Amino acid sequence: MQNDKGDLLAEVAGYYSDKLAQHGQTPRGVDWNGEESQRLRFEQLCKVIGDVKGFSLNDLGCGYGSLYEFLTPRYEAQKYSGFDISEDMVRGARQRHRNASNVRFVNSGEPDEIADYGIASGIFNVRLQRCDSEWREYIEATIQVLDRTSSIGFAFNCLTSYSDAGKMRDYLYYADPIVLFDLCKRRYSRNVALLHDYGLYEFTILVRKS
């Protein structure tokens, strides 16, 4: 299973490296439509943080570090660690943020240390040729990683199974929000929020630990 997961991540890493090569360090370079939807997505994910002055955060699937750029003007102090399976993404992020303090970028599929918060944006969308059951297993394993490497809370998003059928693509994965909400509620915390009202074909789950 470990070898198969390595193959899965390698396929996805290749997909995003190609996107970066085509579109550069832009939202389209990490397979999003544009800056406005990216900002809206980050707003939902960061609701797990709340009104705090200082914290540490692991960004799983960090791309070129756009979440760090979103966080910087909004929070006074932070320790940010970004992790991505694409070497090209990490190389670009390090160059882009070479003068930033309390920031690091690591080529890895999971965080190497525990932070206050963990965030994963967009990493569950592109399943390529993987079947539903295999991709669902990957999602559940990654949520376990988010839980294990965050001490206060974590957040992630997924494309929604409530998307319009005519706009769905077979290489993308559309998750059932109720199933993942139930999983998080039963396994990780009593304090779980499901956000599905912000105008995108996706949902965000926030898990706050007691």
Q: What percent of the chain has pLDDT over 70?
A: 86
Residue-wise pLDDT for 145-189, tens only, equals 999 999 999 999 999 999 999 989 998 999 999 999 999 999 999
Considering its fold, how many domains does the chain have in total? 1
Residue 134 has pLDDT above 70, yes or no: yes
Decide: 195 and 149 in contact? Cβ < 8 Å.
Answer: no
Strands 150-160 and 202-208: antiparallel
Predicted TM-score (pTM) of the model is: 0.87
Looking up residue 180, the CATH number of its domain turns out to be 3.40.50.150
Residue 34 predicted with pLDDT over 70 = no
Which single residue is written with the structure tokens 């360090």? 25
Write the pLDDT tens digit of every residue in 68-99. 999 999 987 689 999 998 888 899 999 999 99
Range(s) of the domain holding residue 144: 2-208
Averaged pLDDT of the chain: 89
What pLDDT does residue 6 have? 65
Write down the pLDDT at residue 106.
96
93: buried, middle or exposed (CB in 10 Å: 19+, 13-18, 0-12)? buried
Q: Are 63 and 29 a contacting pair, CB within 8 Å?
A: yes
| C-alpha closest to that of 188 among 197, 180, 176 | 180
